[in-house]
């Protein structure tokens, strides 16, 4: 990994998610085809891109039961325990509807309503992600969403990964479809003969999935445009080089575009971590992916002081931030921008990916400066409740009418005054 002395001026910003004009045109063509020809287009694209001809897009109950039965009892228990941790954490995020009554009799409030239907995209390709099922389905269930739909690209044999099906079966999800890519996003947004449309689409995917989500936004809602995974480790001389290296590789193995960065005031640690990364790469099964990611998006930044290192981390605003210093929690107040923060050497990032409970769907590409990770809030909408009293309108009506006229909206003013005149017995 390259080692560089810095004082600032660093960034995780990348433009990968915007794609090329050719990719955008391809996505627009796919969306148009799915809207026009429905299931037929989905099957054609599945055969072209995934190499499998499907008679039916829907996963059957028998397929789910078979996948669930294929999992070991030990693995199922791990999935159940992880699910319980995730559910417990997200239950604490639930918001309640509320009403307040003012002295003049006016009632104001907020009604929290779960979305009717959501679509969850579970990526395929180089790895299967049952953890994505848990992290997306559980907050939707906690929020009270009634219809939860999962789409995922099929394997060459026409199945979905057993882990994905087993996780969905454990959670009671019954509506799953073997379709991936931009065509899956189009189907979720606009519907086909088999797949009814949803109100909001969640989940990461490749560049075509990201572009499709961008194109359908407005017709439906989306969670975010997910970029490649990122980890930043903030460490001082007390940290263990082999553990840092392992954590950097845990993200680098995701994707050739993943980013893994160490920020430290210790040149000794920097050199040790660089050496450890090379050593551990030798035996990593996904070595080619991790090595390519590190060469393009990996770095070790060395600062003069720990305070400067904290400033650099805030500038990076990473998806995942690990803090491995002598007193990590002392830095909590100064750390401002990260999707998830992991403090101490036993809080390795995969703990959050799978088991601890907080959601692993997090903002990337520096957007942690203004975005949050997936939560129950993303699966509900909030409606204002206004019950204005007669006394309040009499007291404030002329002010409201004056404000409307300030904006040149005479009908607004008259709508209020019509009630005031009636109460005064005027015609």
Q: What is the largest CA-CA distance in the chain?
A: 89
**pLDDT-derived band of residue 18, with 50, 70 and 90 as boundaries?**
low
pLDDT digits (tens, 9 = 90+) for 361-401: 999 989 999 999 999 999 999 999 999 999 999 999 999 99
pLDDT at 7: 82
Single out the residue of 144, 121, 293, 288 nearest to residue 208, CA to CA.
121
**pLDDT-derived band of residue 427, with 50, 70 and 90 as boundaries?**
low
Task: Provide the annotated binding site for NAD(+).
Answer: 121, 183, 206
Task: Provide the annotated binding site for substrate.
Answer: 229, 251, 254, 320, 353, 407, 412
pLDDT at 206: 87
Average pLDDT over residues 44-66: 96
Catalytic residues, by residue number, are: 319-320
pLDDT at 12: 74
Whether 15 has a pLDDT exceeding 80, the answer reads: no
pLDDT digits (tens, 9 = 90+) for 109-124: 999 999 999 999 998 8
Separation of alpha carbons 68 and 164, rounded Å: 9
Whether 17 has a pLDDT exceeding 60, the answer reads: no
The percentage of the chain sitting over the pLDDT mark of 70, rounded to a whole number, equals 98
The percentage of the chain sitting over the pLDDT mark of 90, rounded to a whole number, equals 89
Task: Provide the annotated binding site for Zn(2+).
Answer: 251, 254, 353, 412
pLDDT at 13: 65
pLDDT digits (tens, 9 = 90+) for 246-262: 999 999 998 898 999 99
Backbone angles phi, psi at 102, to 5 degrees: -90, 170
pLDDT at 228: 85
Average pLDDT over residues 267-288: 97
Tell me what the pLDDT averaged over the chain comes to: 95
Task: Provide the annotated binding site.
Answer: 121, 183, 206, 229, 251, 254, 320, 353, 407, 412
**pLDDT-derived band of residue 180, with 50, 70 and 90 as boundaries?**
very high
């Amino acid at each position: 990994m390259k080692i560089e002395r810095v004082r600032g001026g660093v960034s995780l910003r990348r433009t990968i998610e915007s794609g090329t004009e050719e990719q955008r045109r391809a996505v627009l063509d796919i969306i148009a085809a799915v809207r026009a020809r429905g299931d037929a287009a989905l099957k054609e694209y599945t055969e072209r891109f995934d190499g499998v001809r499907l008679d039916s897009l829907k996963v059957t109950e028998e397929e789910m039961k078979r996948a669930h039965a294929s999992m070991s009892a030990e693995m199922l228990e791990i999935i159940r325990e992880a699910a319980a941790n995730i559910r417990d954490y997200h239950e604490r995020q639930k918001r309640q509807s509320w009403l307040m009554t003012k002295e003049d009799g006016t009632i104001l409030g907020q009604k929290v309503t779960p979305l009717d239907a959501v679509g969850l995209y579970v990526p395929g390709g180089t790895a299967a992600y049952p953890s994505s099922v848990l992290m997306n389905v559980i907050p939707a269930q906690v929020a009270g969403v009634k219809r939860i739909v999962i789409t995922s690209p099929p394997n060459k044999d026409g199945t979905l990964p057993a882990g994905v099906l087993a996780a969905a079966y454990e959670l009671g999800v019954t509506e799953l479809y073997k379709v991936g890519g931009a065509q899956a996003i189009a189907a979720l947004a606009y519907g086909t003969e088999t797949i009814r449309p949803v109100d909001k689409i969640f989940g990461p995917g490749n560049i075509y999935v990201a572009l499709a989500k961008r194109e359908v936004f407005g017709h439906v809602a989306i969670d975010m445009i997910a970029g490649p995974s990122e980890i930043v480790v903030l460490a001082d001389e007390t940290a263990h080089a082999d553990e840092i290296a392992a954590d950097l590789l845990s993200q680098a193995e995701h994707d050739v575009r993943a980013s893994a960065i160490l920020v430290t005031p210790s040149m000794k640690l920097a050199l040790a971590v660089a050496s450890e990364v090379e050593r551990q790469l030798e035996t990593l099964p996904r070595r080619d992916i991790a090595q390519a990611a590190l060469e393009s998006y990996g770095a070790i930044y060395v600062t003069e002081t720990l305070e400067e290192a904290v400033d650099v981390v805030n500038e990076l605003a990473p998806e995942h931030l690990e803090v491995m210093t002598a007193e990590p929690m002392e830095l909590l107040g100064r750390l401002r921008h990260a999707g998830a923060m992991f403090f101490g050497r036993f809080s390795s990032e995969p703990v959050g990916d799978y088991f601890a409970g907080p959601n692993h769907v997090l903002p990337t590409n520096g957007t942690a400066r203004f975005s949050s990770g997936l939560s129950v809030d993303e699966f509900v909408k909030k409606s204002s409740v206004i019950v204005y009293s007669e006394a309040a309108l009499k007291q404030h009506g002329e002010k409201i009418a004056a404000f409307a006229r300030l904006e040149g909206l005479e009908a607004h003013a008259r709508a209020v005054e019509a009630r005031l005149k009636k109460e005064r017995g005027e015609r």
